[in-house]
Amino acid sequence: MDDAREDSYDVVVVGGGAAGLAGALTLVRARRSVLVIDSGSPRNAPAAHMHGYLGLDGESPAALLARGRLEVEGYGGRIRSGTVVAADLLPGGGFLVRCGDGSTVRAGRLLVATGLVDELPPVPGLGARWGRDVLHCPYCHGWEVGDQPVAVLADGPLAVHQAQMWRHWSARTTLLAHTWPLTEEDREVAAALGIRVVEGEVTGLVVEDDRLTGVGMAGGAVVECRALVVAPRFTARSGVLTGLGLPMTDMVRDGHVIGRCVASDPETGATALPGVWVAGNVTAPLEKVAGAAAQGVRAAAALNADLIGAETRRAVAARRAGAAADTVRG
């Protein structure tokens, strides 16, 4: 890339997780100038291993992203560490992207793949074990704790569903009633599946030799478990998008709000604002790494098609203007 284009790119990708890097790889291979700006906190960073990603099952999350960065850079893409704090729509089209360090960069199009924040239940000590033995997704971690004692914390409407799911991986699943009022139907489901229900509030975690061994209950009892399952509330990292006027919407599951994200076309990731695409957990909180990467690829292809469309319209207009000038001269 020549110096004249140093601070101006066809596309700036905000967020360099699986979605952003997969999108960037597609765009650099489509001969686009691309800058990825990434603040370095992918959602699964607390987990030592990434599971269910075909060809790289068990790889560390950091290793996948390191490979992805090298691949993007191998085609001339740029990757910068930093935080995008805002993006402004430019009068002549395109965007001015503002970073936390005060620097700015121009972008013809934006691909925003900033992921989400998992808001965890306020149980003391729980955050420190997140992604290790405080878990949420059986497809990510279920195999690793199969047949071991698993406890599901009921503090919201998904608890019974989660208990049913985890029961599939371990018959030693316990439902901790905690702060959620279980219905008679919930209790019937639990009884039918052999899920033990423990009443009372969870007050803390029991950790021995850096390993979860149980949860402490109000009153002093301890319930043995090797994994504690929780239902985080998903909140998209959407500051850049909301600043551009794209609001967050509720994500509803079985009639309950389980998080907030930014709406987009499910096929292309196009948002309501022309020139801005989204991919990954910022728009689809339930996507795993493979799904987030796939969304990045689809959004990048749609974005590139949009650029080709704009370039074609300009070429046709220029050709017509040239023909008109020839007519006048002739």
Alpha-carbon gap, residue 263 to 270, rounded angstroms: 9
Listed residue (274, 211, 288) closest to 44, CA to CA: 288
Q: How many residues bind ligand FAD (CB under 6 A)?
A: 38
Q: With respect to ligand FAD, which residue has the nearer C-beta, 150 or 195?
A: 150
Counting contacts by CB under 6 A, is residue 51 touching ligand FAD? yes
Q: Which two tokens stand for residue 218?
A: 């109000």
- The secondary structure of 46-99 as a DSSP string is T-S-B-S-TT-TTB-HHHHHHHHHHHHHHTT-EEEE--EEEEEE-TTSSEEEEE
C-beta of 237: minimal distance to ligand FAD in Å?
4
Counting contacts by CB under 6 A, is residue 167 touching ligand FAD? no
Taking the C-alpha atoms of 152, 153, 155 and 161 in order, what is their torsion angle to the nearest 10 degrees? 0
Counting contacts by CB under 6 A, is residue 50 touching ligand FAD? yes
C-beta of 124: minimal distance to ligand FAD in Å?
19
Choice from 10, 35, 107, 118 touching ligand FAD (CB under 6 A):
118
Helix (H) or strand (E) holding 18: helix 18-29
69 CB-near residues (< 8 Å, 6+ apart) = 16, 21, 36, 79
Q: With respect to ligand FAD, which residue has the nearer C-beta, 189 or 251?
A: 251
Alpha-carbon gap, residue 228 to 207, rounded angstroms: 12
Length of the chain equals: 330
C-beta of 234: minimal distance to ligand FAD in Å?
10
227 CB-near residues (< 8 Å, 6+ apart) = 133, 134, 135, 141, 145, 148, 149, 150, 151, 212
Site string for ligand FAD, 191-230 (x = CB under 6 A): ----------------------------------------
Radius of gyration of the chain (CA): 24
Counting contacts by CB under 6 A, is residue 131 touching ligand FAD? yes
Choice from 16, 214, 216, 269 touching ligand FAD (CB under 6 A):
16
Choice from 11, 13, 20, 258 touching ligand FAD (CB under 6 A):
20
Counting contacts by CB under 6 A, is residue 289 touching ligand FAD? yes
Maximum Cα–Cα distance across the chain:
97
Counting contacts by CB under 6 A, is residue 133 touching ligand FAD? no
C-beta of 224: minimal distance to ligand FAD in Å?
22
Counting contacts by CB under 6 A, is residue 173 touching ligand FAD? no
Listed residue (271, 252, 228) closest to 130, CA to CA: 228
Site for ligand FAD in 70-89 (CB under 6 A): 83-84
Counting contacts by CB under 6 A, is residue 292 touching ligand FAD? yes
Q: With respect to ligand FAD, which residue has the nearer C-beta, 110 or 159?
A: 110
Counting contacts by CB under 6 A, is residue 15 touching ligand FAD? yes
Site residues, ligand FAD (CB under 6 A): 14-20, 37-44, 46-47, 50-53, 83-84, 113-115, 118, 131, 140, 237, 240, 280-281, 287-290, 292
